[in-house]
Chain A
Amino acid sequence: MRLLIVEDDLEASRAMVTGLSEQSHSCVTAPDGLAGLEAARADQFDVMIVDRMMPRMDGVTMVETLRRDGDRTPVLFLSALGEISDRVAGLNAGGDDYLVKPYALAELLARVEALARRREMGSVQTMLKVGDLEMDLIAREVRRAGVEIDLQPREFQLLEFLMRHGGQSVTRTMLLEKVWEYHFDPQTNVIDVHISRLRSKIDKGFDRAMLQTVRGAGYRLEA
């Protein structure tokens, strides 16, 4: 993937490049909003990682300008401002996701990949398929290798999110945000319990476990 990192904290920028290059993504960096705007116009990127507060031009202005020009590249905002109103302002400006500093590298990676994937899928789907697991979004039915699996509504939503990001790591925070729509960190392992219930439903009786735990990051649905 080609990524544009717009961040004035060069130390943080370097750490991101190190982590993202490790996953064989290629990164271009810009130290402020104006430079970021130029870089974004000069080239095509899969995802842009944009800090909110920067000298010369802040991230919100930069993304608003790009969106006015018709640039639809997914944007992940990074910010030290974590209040709901800050988050809403970032998303209103045309951001696609919002990550509050400090963050774990695994969280950043997972979100960047999720954003890129969302763009790939583009059109509305009615069927999701990961390996031998199939989800019919209209009939609300799930089958694995042709065998129907009975899921609770929340389990269905959880699986839908995992299937939409099949093969990618998704973090616990992402699941809490996207499936339950809560933006706080639970102290206990609430998400883990939901995952293990789902796992028991989709992996039980099959040789291969699809729903895997990724150490230090979260979960991944493998085909």
Chain B
Amino acid sequence: MGLPRVFRTTPFRLTLLFLGLFAAAAAAFLAYIYIATAGEVTLRADARVSREMAALEAIHHSGGLAALNQAVIERSFGDRPMVYLLMKPDGGNISGSIGKSPVEKFDGEQTWTTFTLTNPGPDGGMVRQPARGLQERLPDGYMLFVGADVGELEFYVSKILRALWGAGALMILLGLAGGLMVSRDVSRNTAALTHVIDQARGGDLHVRARVRGSGDEYDELAIGLNDMLDRLERSVGGLRHAGDAIAHDLRSPLTRLRARLEAAMIDAEAGRTDAKAALHQALEDADGVLRTFSAVLAIARLEAAGAAPSQTVFDPAQLAASIGELYEPLCEDKGLDFEIQASPGLRLKGNREFIAQALANVLDNAIKYTPAGGAIMVRVRRRSSGDVEISVTDTGPGIPAEDRGRVLDRFVRLENSRNEPGAGLGLSLVAAVARAHGGHLDLDEGPGALDGGGPGLRVALVFPSVS
């Protein structure tokens, strides 16, 4: 709570955890060193004691008690770092360098013991040192004790301890410093991302996180966040645009509808006219409004979904044949030449219903704008890039190159088509279908002016190949 933010970060907590683990490992290591070292020096002390005991026993064997006593006295006053005690069978002292055997429970034959020796230290004071001792009963009943300090054990251990403490303190300091640095770095990076998220949440969908190009996790996060924001902005923009477009394009027919109804009501009330015709017209207007609304909704849904739902793999030639069969009589009636050229065996992945509707829309337009005597061709082929293309070419007036991009915008209808029915949504819906399949819509000039006709128009739905 009261801690500065940096101490509450995840990396800092992780640092503490690792320091804790390190401390436990260091303690275990120290314990191991202590046990191993202590075992080693004790073994060496035991060996020295055993050797000394054997030497004294040999003296006793060859020279008897007197010789042994002599040897013990000599050794006690020598400068050997060992202690000796020769005892009578009842435990009374005979000679030696200590007053009392440290063995408390003698088993009567041979007993090892660990005890503490107090020796004069190098600086004049007394040093207490751990020691090992052996007490044995000699063949004639006398008892002999030999002891030796285990020497430098304490010294070793304290040295190792000091080293470990030093290393540990350094490690903890470095670890804390590292943890703080990592925490600060993480905080700085996440703070930037959090800031972007906060701004987006506040409604600003233009913000983007900075990608540093290092390719690390923060970059991946930033790229993911930016991608998400892109999509969000697009779909919100699409919805907003759809809303604006609906408002814009429905307002005029709705106004017209309302005015017509109002006028009809006044006329009918005055008994001047039959309301039937006005109602009939109103119904037609309402249907037009609904059609526009459906198309805008379909586009918005496709754009918001990103990819078309319910995709299957099918043969585009078969689809073209089926839609062609639906439209051919209409062409014939209008005096248009109709032809389908389809490469067999191609495969297309997509929502068959949507693509059928898109193709139908394009054909609708082509038939609507191509004057009698013209021709319409549906073509299905594989482009050299591997993409699958379904195109409709007509010999109608075409669309001037500078307007081709614009007609894909919603509700744009070119001046010369104002008198034709339709909401102007046809090509934008087709383009939305193509985009929802990862493809695009190409607009191009047709076969060129023929017999005084227009240059024609080629509309191609291009879909990525099926892997």
Binding site for B on A (CB under 8 A): 82-85, 102, 104, 154, 180, 182-190, 193-194, 196-197
Contact = CB atoms under 8 A, between A and B. Distances in A.
B353 interface: yes
A184 B360 contact: yes
A154 B325 contact: yes
B390 to A, nearest CB: 16
A84 B332 CA distance: 32
Nearest to B305: A83
B316 to A, nearest CB: 16
A104 B329 CA distance: 27
Nearest to B368: A188
Given A83-B309, A84-B310, A184-B353, A190 B290 contact: no
B422 interface: yes
Contacts of B290: 102
27 contacts: A83-B309, A84-B309, A84-B310, A84-B351, A85-B309, A104-B287, A182-B326, A182-B353, A182-B356, A182-B360, A184-B357, A184-B360, A185-B291, A185-B294, A187-B422, A187-B426, A188-B330, A188-B367, A188-B368, A189-B330, A190-B327, A190-B330, A193-B329, A193-B332, A194-B329, A196-B333, A197-B329
Closest 6 CB pairs of A and B: A193-B329, A184-B357, A187-B364, A193-B330, A188-B364, A190-B330
Contacts of A102: 290
Contacts of B426: 187
Contacts of B330: 188-190, 193
B9 interface: no
Nearest to A189: B330
A189 B421 CA distance: 12
B361 interface: yes
Interface string B301-322: 1000000011000000000001
B421 A187 contact: yes
Given A189-B330, A193-B329, A194-B329, A183 B309 contact: no
A184 B430 CA distance: 13
A86 to B, nearest CB: 11
Given A84-B353, A193-B330, 19 more contacts: A82-B294, A83-B301, A83-B309, A85-B309, A85-B310, A182-B326, A182-B356, A182-B357, A182-B360, A183-B353, A185-B294, A186-B326, A186-B360, A187-B364, A187-B426, A188-B330, A188-B368, A190-B326, A193-B329
A186 B327 CA distance: 10
A175 to B, nearest CB: 11
Interface of B: 287, 290-291, 294, 301, 309-310, 322, 325-327, 329-330, 332-333, 351, 353, 356-357, 360-361, 364, 367-368, 421-422, 426
Contacts of B353: 84, 182-184
Contacts of A180: 322, 326
A211 B351 CA distance: 35
A84 B309 CA distance: 9
Nearest to B423: A187
> From DSSP, what is the main secondary structure of chain A's interface residues?
loop
Nearest to A101: B290
Nearest to A197: B329
Contacts of B333: 193, 196
A44 to B, nearest CB: 35
A17 B287 CA distance: 21
Residue among A154, A186, A197 with the highest chain B CB neighbour number at 10 A: A186
A14 B364 CA distance: 37
Nearest to B287: A104
Contacts of B361: 187
Nearest to A198: B329
A197 B328 CA distance: 12
A149 B421 CA distance: 37
Contacts of B322: 180
A99 to B, nearest CB: 14
B362 to A, nearest CB: 11
Contacts of B325: 154
A183 B367 CA distance: 21
Nearest to A87: B353
A184 B309 contact: no
A93 B422 CA distance: 36
A85 B360 CA distance: 21
B360 to A, nearest CB: 6
Nearest to B330: A193
Contacts of A85: 309-310
B152 to A, nearest CB: 85
Nearest to A82: B294
A180 B351 CA distance: 17
A71 B149 CA distance: 104
A161 to B, nearest CB: 15
A197 B332 CA distance: 11
Contacts of B332: 193
A180 B326 CA distance: 8
Contacts of A84: 309-310, 351, 353
B467 to A, nearest CB: 25
Contacts of A185: 291, 294
A3 to B, nearest CB: 23
Nearest to B429: A184
A154 B368 CA distance: 24
A218 B70 CA distance: 141
A184 B356 contact: yes
A187 B369 CA distance: 13
B10 to A, nearest CB: 42
A157 B294 CA distance: 29
Contacts of A184: 353, 356-357, 360
Give the interface centre of B287, B290, B360, B367 by most chain A CB atoms within 10 Å: B360
A187 B360 CA distance: 9
B68 to A, nearest CB: 109
